Structure 1
Amino acid sequence: MPWFETPDSKGTWGYHWKMNTQNPDIITNGKRQIATYYYPKTGPYYSSDPAIIEYQLLLMKYAGADGVFIDWPGTRALYDYSDNLANSNALINKLNAVGLQFGIVEEDRNWDAGNTSGAHGDFVYMQNNYFNQSNYLTTNGTPVVLNFGPITFHQSSQWDAILNGISPKPKVLPLFGFTSEVGSNNTGGEFPWIYQDHPSVVNNYYAQAANFALSVGVVYPGFNTFYAAGGADGPTWQIAYNGTSTFSTMLDKALASSVGIIQFATWNDYGEGTMIEPTEEFGYSFLTTMQTKLGVPYGQHELEVIYQLYQARKSYAGNTTIQAQLDQVFTYLANQQVAQAETLLNNLGGNNNSTGVYIKNKWLSTYLYEDNGQVKYSSSNSGNQYKWIQETVNGHIRFKNLSTGHYLNIEHLYSYVESADVPNTYYSSYWVLESYNGYTRLKNEWQSTYVNLENQSGLAQCTTVPDYFESSQWTLQQ
């Protein structure tokens, strides 16, 4: 779904993060108030963010996906459709670099009844911009377009007009049971979606799949919409997740069927709770299930390396030297050279990983240092006790004091941040680097709290503070 916007992209939060009742500027326990019951591991994002695009595409690749179906808004200049089109194209422009295919899921609902010329214009756009790309999805050389409906155009004569003159003429696949509305001369199969009558409708589709020239299975994790809570129209029925059980069962069904393509529904529809990208609630579990069942030679570790790349993109925003290194990390990962990518990630900035960095507070212009197991701060930065070596363990970031070899942590939940010898499996010593207005916030993975100097007690704290508090904003200086 290419429809997410934030203040960084549009100056305000887009509808899909807030619906009609939520305010993402409200932050509780480190999380923004967004229109979903599930929280993206990256936090809410905008769809055209280059860092998000490479993160999402690399995750897809390492989970075993061959390509991406894009819920495409069309060319009509209405609502947020133009932004969604631009977001779609930003993602499409990166696909070749990762080696992924793509297909369009066309939304005829975005046109008014009778306006076949507008829908025709959508297909002209596809013809001129997508069908001629080598990585566009085809069947026997013919472009494939999924139609989420039809919703507006229910007569085959209308589809004859919509597709008139399009070359190459695509095969349009409507939802299961709707070939007659598009016309058998215009279709090449059908595809199922997520139904309240779960899983009966999908089972019925698989029983008939061999009858379609091109069949597309569907796999989803569950269904739990935010529409009612968000003051929006939409279904309110649910399909239980049961951890990853529903997802795993649906994938088994698809693999056992005769379908030619399996569609994972969806990557990131947070409003309906069908997202499989990493979240706080489910972690990487849907993607690791894919890895296991699809037989790809990767696991969660590789997914965590990709997340580490995303974190570094944000932490070092504006640092052209390190961003160039991260470009190389991306290239390594796109070419499945994981070891090289990880080595470079762990040595950003040349000797940065061996000599350490200073952690400087924006508000007080002071530096963190260790003093007998406590993390304090001072305007001075003389001595190795002020330097912290950034390390990565299984995709998690730790900070080791250069003088003592102790690790930044909050294991005992004291009123101050500790520096001690803690095992590398302890989440109390794992940190997420979040970018905010050119500075970095250090978020503890265990408690989702942030290192800050708000109390000015002489000791660093780790508590819940708003992201705009400069006491929680840091610069990592070499």
Structure 2
Amino acid sequence: MRTLICFCCCALLLFGCNKSLQQNDLLTGRGALTGVSASAVAIPKSTGKKIFIHWMPWFETPASRGAWGYHWKMNTRNPDVIVNGKRQIAAYYYPKTGPYASGDPDIIEYQLLLMKYAGADGVFIDWPGTRQRYDYPDNLANSNALINKLGAVGLQFGIVHEDRNWDPGMATDAHGDFTYMQSNYFNQSNYLKTNNAPVVLNFGPITFHQPAEWDVILNGLNPRPKVIPLYGFTGQVGSNNAGGEFPWIYQDHPTVVNNYYAQAGSFPLSIGVVYPGFNSFYAAGGADGPTWQIPFNGTGTFSTMLDKALSSSVNIIQFATWNDYGEGTIIEPTDEYGYSFLTIMQQKLGVSYGQHELELVTRLYNARKQYAGNGSVQQQLNQVFTYLANLQTGSAENLLNTLGGSNPPPTGTGVLIKNKWLSTYLYEDNGQVKYSAGNSGNQYRWVQETVNGHIRFKNLATSHYLNIEHLYPYAESTDVPNTYYSSYWKLEGYNGNVRLKNEWQNTYLNVENQGGFAQCTAVPDFFESSQWILQN
């Protein structure tokens, strides 16, 4: 398990902990960073700084490893328990995809495309090393699965080495980590290098604190990498072995990061850091780790930290993190924050794409899952991926629409769904199904479809489906795979009207509470709040 380290006993700068990473291209006056893949079109943006995202490889599900991995459950949670439509996971935030396996090829495709459209140039991989212990081998396999997909997306990568995974006196064994990197990573065209030397971040050092130990670890490597330790730790790695320093997330926020930016120009390679806040689940999960917090302030902390990094002299900005749910530093889409961190990146980095393109990536992911096992459709989805990797978003969207996979545009004009009791009409508003006396606009119209023998209602304005997937107090209108019973409805007649019964929960769509939105609960059939008129 990875935790933040707080040197709170020292009168130092309170070096919290975690990771960070790198850049590429020209380091003004300080040498060239290289490592570019020509396999896909690079994302255009206005900033000249290189953007890397810190990624964790350690999530497992019963489908991937036969049981839920530690990082989804810690010591107090059971993801097999579902409450209000969500699995009970060891986190305060819930991934938009639900809990996943890091090595799932569909998840890897989804995550890398989202990173790209948010403005990323590469990924810093929190790398476990080669030791055969705990879940390290699984983490290594997941890391390699991601690395194998990077070239097709057109992203670079760098390793963030965890020397904590070795014990004192095992420098010779840790040398094996670097020979593995040399054989498998350093020779790849999209590996990050500075002056032709591979760049390896080190989250610490945690175990090896003497330059002589690092001399052993790096002995005989050709090309010899440059190790980038945490801010203030060059002395432990040795000036001949180190190539710069990077800051992380500190309890003394934002003082330490500000101090780093004041000195960034003195490092051969400087790497800034951006994070949304810090809200760890360790205490609630019965696990060891820091319990201090950095408030998110909505998206305010993230936005401020990104402004600081952009205005600094650093050459690389590391976003910490993509998916550390245990420490609550996630920027990937979640139910709580949606795409907000990624759209802020797009705006501030000068990316010419927005949330619509991010949603296209999600449509691709949903279609992958919806059509699992359908070889012909998967081949077409491979083409959608190629279009997205090469920024041909129009072609990707057209093909998705043609597939009928992830909510193609509805055909026909649909119906109005009018409540018998209140004489109001259902419409979609930002994922919620609300009602009003008006009925003007496609958001009020619903196209009835039959799939797998079941009835679904698709909103004419958004192509979203009427559903109760998350068991919220309100009915939803969102992108739901056509295999989900939460979007299946039975039409039952009553006194010349229709009742809409959800096939998953056997509850009825109604407006009984008059709360401004439709709900789906157990309601007697004679209640007019659950009776509807379908009007053309």
TM interval, short-chain normalised: 0.7 to 0.9
Match of 1:221 in 2: 276
Matched, 1:241 2:296: yes
Give the Å deviation of 1:117. Answer: 1.4
Matched, 1:407 2:458: no
Match of 1:452 in 2: 503
Distance 1:462 1:78, change over 3 A: farther
Match of 2:160 in 1: 105
Matched, 1:286 2:341: yes
How many percent identity over aligned positions? Answer: 69
Are the counterparts in 1 of residues 271 and 317 from structure 2 also a CA contact under 8 Å? Answer: yes
- The letter for the 1-side match of 2:213 is Q
Distance 1:214 1:457, change over 3 A: closer
Are the counterparts in 1 of residues 93 and 325 from structure 2 also a CA contact under 8 Å? Answer: yes
String of CA shifts for 1:85-131, please: whole Å, max 9, x gaps. Answer: 00000000000000000000000000010001111000000000000
Distance 1:69 1:285, change over 3 A: same
Are the counterparts in 2 of residues 373 and 420 from structure 1 also a CA contact under 8 Å? Answer: no
Distance 1:298 1:116, change over 3 A: same
Gap regions ≥5 residues in structure 2: 1-55, 420-428, 433-443, 450-454, 467-474, 489-500, 511-517, 523-536
Q: What CA distance in whole angstroms lies between the structure 1 residues aligned with 2:164 and 2:456?
A: 56
Give the Å deviation of 1:247. Answer: 0.4
Matched, 1:37 2:92: yes
Give the Å deviation of 1:464. Answer: 9.2
Are the counterparts in 1 of residues 321 and 329 from structure 2 also a CA contact under 8 Å? Answer: yes
Match of 2:236 in 1: 181
Distance 1:423 1:119, change over 3 A: same
Match of 1:302 in 2: 357
Give the Å deviation of 1:22. Answer: 0.2
Are the counterparts in 1 of residues 172 and 217 from structure 2 also a CA contact under 8 Å? Answer: yes
Give the Å deviation of 1:421. Answer: 7.6
Give the Å deviation of 1:276. Answer: 0.3
Give the Å deviation of 1:239. Answer: 0.2
Match of 1:119 in 2: 174
Are the counterparts in 2 of residues 304 and 395 from structure 1 also a CA contact under 8 Å? Answer: no
| Total equivalences in the alignment | 414
SS in 2 for 1:406: strand
Relative contact order, higher structure (CA 8 A, sep 6+): 2
Answer 1 or 2: which has greater helix percent: 1
Distance 1:354 1:56, change over 3 A: closer
Q: What CA distance in whole angstroms lies between the structure 1 residues aligned with 2:448 and 2:89?
A: 31
Give the Å deviation of 1:430. Answer: 2.3
Gap regions ≥5 residues in structure 1: 357-368, 375-392, 397-403, 410-416, 445-449, 466-478
Match of 1:339 in 2: 394
Are the counterparts in 2 of residues 433 and 441 from structure 1 also a CA contact under 8 Å? Answer: no
1:142-291 correspondence runs (5 A)? 142-291=197-346
- The letter for the 2-side match of 1:407 is V
SS in 1 for 2:157: strand
Match of 2:11 in 1: none
Matched, 1:12 2:12: no
String of CA shifts for 1:163-222, please: whole Å, max 9, x gaps. Answer: 000111000000000000000000000000000000000000001100100000000000
Q: What CA distance in whole angstroms lies between the structure 2 residues aligned with 1:424 and 1:338?
A: 18
Question: Which residue of the other structure, out of 414, 418, 433, is the alignment partner of 2:480?
Answer: 433
String of CA shifts for 1:233-272, please: whole Å, max 9, x gaps. Answer: 0000000001111001101111111111100000000010
Question: Which residue of the other structure, out of 382, 397, 406, is the alignment partner of 1:327?
Answer: 382
SS in 2 for 1:166: coil
Distance 1:3 1:372, change over 3 A: closer
Give the Å deviation of 1:442. Answer: 3.9
- The letter for the 2-side match of 1:282 is Y
Question: Which residue of the other structure, out of 75, 88, 91, is the alignment partner of 2:130?
Answer: 75
- The letter for the 1-side match of 2:130 is T
TM (normalized to structure 2)? Answer: 0.71
- The letter for the 1-side match of 2:290 is P
Q: What CA distance in whole angstroms lies between the structure 1 residues aligned with 2:91 and 2:445?
A: 41
Are the counterparts in 2 of residues 373 and 419 from structure 1 also a CA contact under 8 Å? Answer: no
Distance 1:160 1:28, change over 3 A: same
Are the counterparts in 1 of residues 408 and 463 from structure 2 also a CA contact under 8 Å? Answer: no
Give the Å deviation of 1:19. Answer: 0.2
Q: What CA distance in whole angstroms lies between the structure 2 residues aligned with 1:292 and 1:190?
A: 28
Q: What CA distance in whole angstroms lies between the structure 2 residues aligned with 1:6 and 1:159?
A: 36
Distance 1:80 1:293, change over 3 A: same
String of CA shifts for 1:352-403, please: whole Å, max 9, x gaps. Answer: 95898xxxxxxxxxxxx999879xxxxxxxxxxxxxxxxxx9999xxxxxxx
Q: What CA distance in whole angstroms lies between the structure 2 residues aligned with 1:99 and 1:78?
A: 32
Are the counterparts in 2 of residues 307 and 395 from structure 1 also a CA contact under 8 Å? Answer: no
Are the counterparts in 2 of residues 373 and 418 from structure 1 also a CA contact under 8 Å? Answer: no
Match of 1:468 in 2: none
Q: What CA distance in whole angstroms lies between the structure 2 residues aligned with 1:354 and 1:244?
A: 32
String of CA shifts for 1:283-320, please: whole Å, max 9, x gaps. Answer: 10100000001001000110011011111111111111
Are the counterparts in 2 of residues 96 and 135 from structure 1 also a CA contact under 8 Å? Answer: yes
